[in-house]
Chain A
Amino acid sequence: MAGFIIRRVISSFLVVVLTSMFVFALFFLGPSNPAGPVCEASGKCTAERLALIEEQMGLNESVVTQYGAFAKGIFVDRTITIGSEYECDAPCLGISYGTRGQVTDELLEKYPATLSIAIGGAMIYLTLGVLLGVLAARWRGTAADRLLVGGSLLVSSVPYYLFALLAWIFLTLQWSIFPATGYTPLTENPGAWFAGLLLPWVVIGVTFSTQYARFTRGSMVETLGEDYIRTATAKGVKSNKVVFKHGLRAAIVPIVTIFGLDFAALLAGTVFTERIFNINGVGWWALNSIQSPQDFPVITATVLVSAVLVVVANLLVDVIYSFLDPRVRMS
């Protein structure tokens, strides 16, 4: 087991390194010149000034050297020259061209908001989705089941941003059922934190739960047809217990896999959610960074963070998987 985890950590690390290299290469070999926006930002941009800035930013060096400097910054402090000199403490992901602040600091500042949205939303959609799915599987073929499956298809077919926008317009603006949305750090005011995130959670919870209800239903229907379910019934186990203890225990395993990846995607930024509900999180930040003038260090950082999240989620899924399924654990 330990060997397995170590092997997976190493391969995960390699994936992250390769992703960062790829992103780095893409931007440097691409058509846009990172020095351009910096040069324009400080008044008239002459060819000499541009060349100087390029020189200072180290853009004349080979991509390999630049990547080396970037990678080194993750472990030791470095000084970065963008027009003037900036200190960048380790772990350094660079200095934002836009704000001239350390990317790492900004990341840490924006992350709690995204994390809050993701965790709250995921808790709702996982519980709701799995519960609905189990019930639908249990009463499969009945009107309740058809209603659930049909309803879930309907919700899934509406684009998420439209759903979120309508929810915000009607539930908050028009009818004021939900409090105004926004982000207040949990440590500052838990009440405000909760109130501001309630609608985003519900919207994420409801929209995602429909998919999970369908996944769970499919997995449960398959599991309930297994021989060991019949065995449990033949032993005299109560039908609720057959469904939840024997059925769900086995049916949940594939759900965990999907959930791990979905959750990683949520964590990497919930662009629509953040824009519509006015929450300044990682998604919004990333969206801004790719708009002109492009903020190259921020883009690199957000892509890297996404890569790390996906890789870590995969790793966790595998570990959880091995705890859920003893057959994997033993081999």
Chain B
Amino acid sequence: MTTQSEAVPTTVSAAPTEQPLLEVTNLRKYFPVKSSGLVRRTIAQVQAVDGVSFQVPAGTSLGLVGESGCGKSTTGRLITRLLDPTSGSMKFEGHEIGNLSPKQMLPYRKEIQMIFQDPYSSLNPRHTVGTIVGTPLRVHKVVPEKQVLNRVRELLEVVGLNPEHYNRYPSEFSGGQRQRIGIARALALQPKLLVADEPVSALDVSIQAQVVNLLTDLQKEFGVAFLFIAHDLAVVRHFCPEVAVMYLGKIVEIADRETLYNRPHHPYTQALLSAVPDVKQAAVGGRRERIRLEGDVPSPVNPPSGCRFRTRCWMAKDICAKQEPPLLQIGPKHKVACHFAGEYGAMPTSPITLNVLGVDQEGTPVAGATPSAEDLNEPGFADTWTDVETLKGNSAPMATSLPSDSRPASEVGSEDRGTRS
């Protein structure tokens, strides 16, 4: 089956029968905006996370990238239940955890731990490292009190710190070492899932690599799964076999890393990748040609209608304002939310989403059609997908789902990171 041959060796195959460790469906988080009048009514909602769906298979990593305000950190906080979701479902090993009370959540907290960005503010400066790392052990009573210290020593050793330094304070450690302490604390309960929110972005380059390597080793040794949230595309690519790109509260593209980084189909992903400064450019000299995005990300209080990226997109047409593009599966492990999804420089001229949405070229609903965009927002990947190539340039309605033996999109189009400035 093409699905299998496409998969990278490190990726655990997410066959429909196998239960993912974490499955998130249509997750939403709206923060109310209060009016300034006499009575403080809720006048608007900050749509921080607006219907994201994804899976994290056991023992592997899903990267969540995007720029500030895209909702990636909020998503992480929802999954660790530091925030309560507005709606949607989060299933951990098949159990719904989105609506649990703090008490009911307790057993799951052991399984889902978090690593924070700032190693300076996330450790209590008045506690010794032993206390910091040992607290989760004591709270959850996973080991007898007498053995806490031994376990702490073990954990410190695992993350590459001197185990005899358990009685020191965080201020005696450097930034990279503090991040190791934070990782030791997160590992203390042997979680199955680690939500890492920008775990290396506060660190120096040389130290970043140490921490990324440590996380890689820990994953291999303990089989822990990661939801790796970062803005640094290169770090995410290095660490995660599967990556989701978020923009303004929504996932715009999700794919295995080879596809996402080599053949991105969403204009935003393309722009994001082309914006990263590249050391190899030194050999050529000057700036790399890149896609220039104009302006700023719109406010999540009042996001654009239809496709949220359309206000900054060079491909935008009428339909983009009228219809929100569904996250359509276009390859074995590739979903994209764009009416004109395609490789850069070879994007289709006619929307690929017409049949799914039951609309015509301009985005007006066709009489009698039954739009199923909402149903498409399923986590994970299906065995069948829409073949973009056969739809490309073809305005006639076509079957949306082709059998799985259809030509995978990867066979067409070589790497074409075109230019536009």
Contact = CB atoms under 8 A, between A and B. Distances in A.
Interface in A1-15: 1, 3-4, 6-7
B302 interface: no
Nearest to A331: B36
A170 B40 CA distance: 58
A74 to B, nearest CB: 24
Interface of B: 35-38, 40
A6 B39 CA distance: 10
B38 A1 contact: no
Contacts of B38: 3, 6-7
A34 B370 CA distance: 81
Given A3-B35, A7-B40, 7 more contacts: A1-B36, A3-B36, A3-B37, A3-B38, A4-B36, A6-B38, A7-B38
B117 to A, nearest CB: 20
Contacts of A7: 38, 40
A259 to B, nearest CB: 26
Contacts of A4: 36
Contacts of B40: 7
A3 B37 CA distance: 4
Interface string A1-39: 101101100000000000000000000000000000000
Contacts of A6: 38
Contacts of B36: 1, 3-4
Interface residues of A, number: 5
A7 B38 CA distance: 6
Nearest to A4: B36
Contacts, number: 9
Contacts of B37: 3
9 contacts: A1-B36, A3-B35, A3-B36, A3-B37, A3-B38, A4-B36, A6-B38, A7-B38, A7-B40
Contacts of A3: 35-38
Interface in A44-86: none
| Top 6 A-B pairs, shortest CB-CB distance | A3-B37, A3-B36, A6-B38, A3-B38, A4-B36, A7-B38
A3 B40 CA distance: 9
Nearest to A7: B38
A3 B36 CA distance: 6
Contacts of A1: 36
A330 to B, nearest CB: 10
A6 B36 CA distance: 10
Nearest to A6: B38
A1 B37 CA distance: 8
A161 B36 CA distance: 46
Nearest to A1: B36
A29 to B, nearest CB: 36
Contacts of B35: 3
A12 to B, nearest CB: 14
A1 B36 CA distance: 7
A7 B35 CA distance: 12
Nearest to B35: A3
A109 B37 CA distance: 40
A160 to B, nearest CB: 35
A7 B41 CA distance: 13
B35 to A, nearest CB: 7
Nearest to B37: A3
A315 to B, nearest CB: 16
Nearest to B36: A3
A10 to B, nearest CB: 8
B172 to A, nearest CB: 24
A240 to B, nearest CB: 35
A6 B35 CA distance: 13
A8 to B, nearest CB: 11
A159 to B, nearest CB: 34
Interface string A282-315: 0000000000000000000000000000000000
A7 B36 CA distance: 9
B99 to A, nearest CB: 32
A1 B38 CA distance: 10
A86 B301 CA distance: 63
B43 to A, nearest CB: 12
Interface in A73-106: none
A285 B356 CA distance: 83
A7 B37 CA distance: 8
A3 B38 CA distance: 5
A79 B99 CA distance: 62
A72 to B, nearest CB: 27
A7 B40 CA distance: 9
Interface string A266-296: 0000000000000000000000000000000
B217 to A, nearest CB: 38
A6 to B, nearest CB: 5
A1 B35 CA distance: 11
A98 B146 CA distance: 72
A103 to B, nearest CB: 34
B268 to A, nearest CB: 30
B187 to A, nearest CB: 36
A69 to B, nearest CB: 31
B131 to A, nearest CB: 30
A326 to B, nearest CB: 15
B59 to A, nearest CB: 44
B301 to A, nearest CB: 13
A232 B64 CA distance: 39
A229 to B, nearest CB: 22
A298 to B, nearest CB: 36
